[in-house]
Structure 1
Amino acid sequence: MEPILNSNEYTYYLVGHVDDFPERLGRVVRLGKEVIAVFKTTDGQIYALENKSPGPRGGTIAEGMISGEVLFDPICDWKISLTDGQVLDPDTGQVRAYPVQVLGNEVRIGLLTKEGGLFHE
């Protein structure tokens, strides 16, 4: 896996093209040890969250459905913000959100540069 773009904080990796991601459904991508659920909204925005349910039963979130910028956790039906991974009231919790860049038709996900060494295989 080769880094595509580097900023001061994040190194961005190509994970696919816009058309690879269906609207309102999740798709799992792997960047080294990171397992990430990528979602595309009906208005074409793309978001990336850690593919791990914040609920007490665990599980993954890629099978969740989205409405607007909210993901419905498929395990416990909690609402999770796609923008920052925060669980919405009345529940609490958070999943890691990753920055996304869309350049032309290419989708890239950013990993913290200081962690970059962990993600090269």
Structure 2
Amino acid sequence: MSNPNAEEYTFYLVGKPEDFSERLGRVVRLGEVELAVFKTTDGKIYALENQSPGPRGGTIAEGIISGDVLFDPICDWKIGLADGLVHAPDTGQVRVYPVQVLEDEVRIGLPKREGGTLHD
């Protein structure tokens, strides 16, 4: 997600950049939201809803990334990490969440309009 308005999100600390392995997904739970977090070989970190848009459903955290594309482990669809869009000829979209890497902290934003608070 490019340049999200920080005022629309509450950002939560999820770790340090080195906590995330390159090209592999990691599941992060923020309250009731389950995310798949990926780190590219150039150090960019992306957060997507951990739900495959494919007809068989499933999760995407087990997928592998190449560049800024995620290969869905269930359907073998290609999904853009930045926008969550499924590449043609398939269609669909995965929800993406803004990520901030400030100093040595990785934070992920949840929309305030959806509560923006964590419930344990």
* TM-score, structure 1 as length reference: 0.91
> Conserved in 2, the CA contact under 8 Å of 1:11 and 1:110?
yes
- Any residues of structure 2 matched to 1:1-121 within 5 Å, and which? 7-117=6-116, 119-121=118-120
Equivalent pairs counted in the alignment come to 116
SS of the residue 2:59 aligns to: coil
What RMSD over aligned residues (CA atoms) do the two structures have, in Å? Answer: 1.4
Give deviations 1:66-108, integer Å, cap 9, x for gaps. Answer: 0000000000100000001110111000010000000111100
CA distance in structure 2 between the aligned counterparts of 1:25 and 1:38, rounded to whole angstroms:
8
Give deviations 1:31-85, integer Å, cap 9, x for gaps. Answer: 0000000000000000000000110001000000000000000001000000011
> Conserved in 1, the CA contact under 8 Å of 2:56 and 2:74?
yes
Amino acid at match of 1:73: D
> Conserved in 1, the CA contact under 8 Å of 2:9 and 2:116?
no
CA distance in structure 2 between the aligned counterparts of 1:8 and 1:116, rounded to whole angstroms:
13
Give deviations 1:6-26, integer Å, cap 9, x for gaps. Answer: 932111000111011000000
* Identity in percent: 75
* TM-score, structure 2 as length reference: 0.92
CA distance in structure 1 between the aligned counterparts of 2:117 and 2:92, rounded to whole angstroms:
26
> Conserved in 2, the CA contact under 8 Å of 1:11 and 1:116?
no
Runs of 4+ off more than 6 Å: none
CA distance in structure 2 between the aligned counterparts of 1:74 and 1:7, rounded to whole angstroms:
32
User: Residue 114 of structure 1: CA displacement?
Assistant: 1.6
CA distance in structure 2 between the aligned counterparts of 1:114 and 1:120, rounded to whole angstroms:
15
